[in-house]
Amino acid sequence: MSDTFESVKALADGFATTFKHLFRKPITEEYPEYKRPLPVRSRARIILTRDPDGDERCVACYLCSAVCPVSCISMQSAERSNGRRYASWFRINFGRCIYCGLCEEACPTSAIQLTPNFDHCKREILSMVYEKEDLLVDHCGKDPDYNFYRHAGISTAKRDKGEHINEFKPVRVKSNLP
Ligand code: SF4
Ligand code: SF4
């Protein structure tokens, strides 16, 4: 008898839930007319950012391409006359990218960042290969204050080694000897 009662109660609960939803306002979102704002740390389209001085952050160290599990990042390093490295070309094949975020984790300069912009898929697979001019943006992304050259112990056109913000003076190794 109690089994029958339990079954009828479960059935009634189910129908009650369905009945309640009949009178609720639908919450269907009309995509793509309406795009729900995603959290800032969502992992989708990748960009190459600039530092607060407006210069390219990427120093073409190859760490992102080394860590990428699907090998979809490639680049060529080059060096300016002031010793600052950059990528002469930088390519990401979004047709292979799995948006794992490992490249962003590995990047020492905070150059490569994933953004919440998820709807850049296209039917033509080759158009998913993005070059540096498609990736490089004119802002700092998620790290507005970070400048690799202020922490890296590298002299720049603006300051010498150890003179940048938050940087310690270079250690003279011989001074540590007994
Ligand atoms: S998000 Fe992952 S798969 Fe995509 S480029 Fe970065 S490391 Fe490679
Ligand atoms: S994006 Fe970052 S990790 Fe990749 S090459 Fe440039 S500096 Fe290195």
The mean pLDDT of 127-150, rounded to a whole number, is: 93
Which residue has its alpha carbon closest to ligand 2 atom 3? 107
The beta strand positions in 110-157, using DSSP E, are 112-114, 129-130
Portion of the chain with pLDDT greater than 70, in percent: 99
| Average pLDDT value over all residues in the chain | 90
The mean pLDDT of 66-81, rounded to a whole number, is: 96
Is the sign of the CA dihedral 119, 122, 126, 132 positive or negative? negative
pLDDT for res 162:
81
Higher pLDDT, 68 or 25: 68
pTM score: 0.78
pLDDT tens digit sequence for 163-177: 877 777 877 778 877
Specify whether the CB–CB gap between 90 and 58 falls below 8 A.
Answer: yes
Site to probe by mutation for ligand 1, drawn from 45, 96, 102 as the one with most ligand atoms within 8 Å of Cβ, is 102
pLDDT tens digit sequence for 46-72: 999 999 989 999 999 999 999 999 999
pLDDT for res 99:
96
Query: For residue 1, is pLDDT > 70?
Result: no
The mean pLDDT of 3-30, rounded to a whole number, is: 90
The mean pLDDT of 9-33, rounded to a whole number, is: 89
| Chain CA centroid to CA 63, Å | 14
Q: Give the confidence band of 82 by pLDDT, cuts at 50, 70, 90.
A: confident
Question: Which burial class, exposed, middle or buried, applies to 49 when counting CB atoms under 10 A from its CB (0-12, 13-18, 19+)?
Answer: buried
pLDDT for res 61:
96
Site to probe by mutation for ligand 2, drawn from 56, 62, 64, 77 as the one with most ligand atoms within 8 Å of Cβ, is 64
The mean pLDDT of 113-131, rounded to a whole number, is: 93
Which residue has its alpha carbon closest to ligand 1 atom 2? 100
